[in-house]
């Protein structure tokens, strides 16, 4: 099983719809989880951290399911500007900082007018 | 914007040559990490620098080396370039070596022919 796994998509979703995608991780000891957004040919940008109790930031909701070892990202009322690749990031090793992180390959989201 | 800058933006090199990429970290951040992102993949951790010393390394050969300077800026050097080194090279700064939150620069796109 890969350390961090995502469905690459693309997810084609009409504007205004709700879309959700998951990311699975293999290390049950992982403690820190993040979603990054990456626009085409640009750098990744931190979208949100994922907390144990789940967290929400405007139209975005992130959830963690430790029992099944996955995190999810839900986008409500999707906008054209939400079109991007969403990278799942998990600390898969005990190394401090970046050394402990593994990035997924990303899920490509296309919002259609 | 994150305040992390990288130079150059694009670079074309020939197999066997050497390349140096540069990065300036965000103000207040003392840790710099380097990543390689091939097309369609997530960023792969190369190494992390903290207080001018390498503080964690991913699965990259010794021909990938780096430096960090007293002002926290950093260089990535790659010797004996191979075709597979063609990728987007991302620099990320973080508040401290143990911090998982990465703030990326715009990247340097390296093409090896």
Residues A25-72: tens digit of each pLDDT: 999 989 899 999 999 989 999 999 998 888 999 999 999 999 999 999
Of A18-22, A96-100, B91-95, least confident by mean pLDDT is: A96-100
Dump the DSSP string for chain A: --SEEE----EEEETT--EEEEEEES-TT---EEEEEE-TTS-EEEEEEE-TT-EEETTEEEEEETTTTEEEEEE-S--GGG-EEEEEEEE-SSSSGGGGEEE---EEEEEE-
Return the pLDDT at A95: 61
Of A42, A96, A103, the CB nearest to B98: A96
Q: Does A104 touch chain B (CB under 8 A)?
A: yes
- Please judge whether A87 and B41 are an interchain contact, meaning their C-beta atoms are less than 8 angstroms apart: no
């Amino acid at each position: 099983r890969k350390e961090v796994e995502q469905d690459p998509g693309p997810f084609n979703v009409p504007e205004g719809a709700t879309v959700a995608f998951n990311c699975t991780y293999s290390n049950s000891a992982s403690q820190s989880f993040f979603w990054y957004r990456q626009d085409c040919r640009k750098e990744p940008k931190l979208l949100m951290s994922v907390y144990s109790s789940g967290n929400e930031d405007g139209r975005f909701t992130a959830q963690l399911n430790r029992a099944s070892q996955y995190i999810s990202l839900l986008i409500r009322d999707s906008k054209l500007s939400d079109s991007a690749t969403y990278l799942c990031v998990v600390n898969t090793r005990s190394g401090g900082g970046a050394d402990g992180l593994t990035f997924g390959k990303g899920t490509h989201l296309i919002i259609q007018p | 914007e994150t305040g992390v800058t990288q130079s150059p933006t694009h670079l074309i090199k020939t197999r066997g040559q050497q390349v140096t990429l540069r990065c300036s970290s965000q103000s207040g951040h003392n840790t710099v990490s380097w990543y390689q992102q091939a097309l369609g993949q997530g960023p792969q951790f190369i190494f992390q620098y903290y207080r001018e010393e390498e503080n964690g390394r991913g699965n990259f050969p010794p021909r990938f080396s780096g430096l960090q300077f007293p002002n926290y800026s950093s260089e990535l050097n790659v010797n004996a370039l191979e075709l597979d080194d063609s990728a987007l090279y991302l620099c990320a700064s973080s508040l401290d070596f143990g911090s998982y939150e990465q703030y990326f620069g715009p990247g340097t796109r390296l093409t090896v022919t």
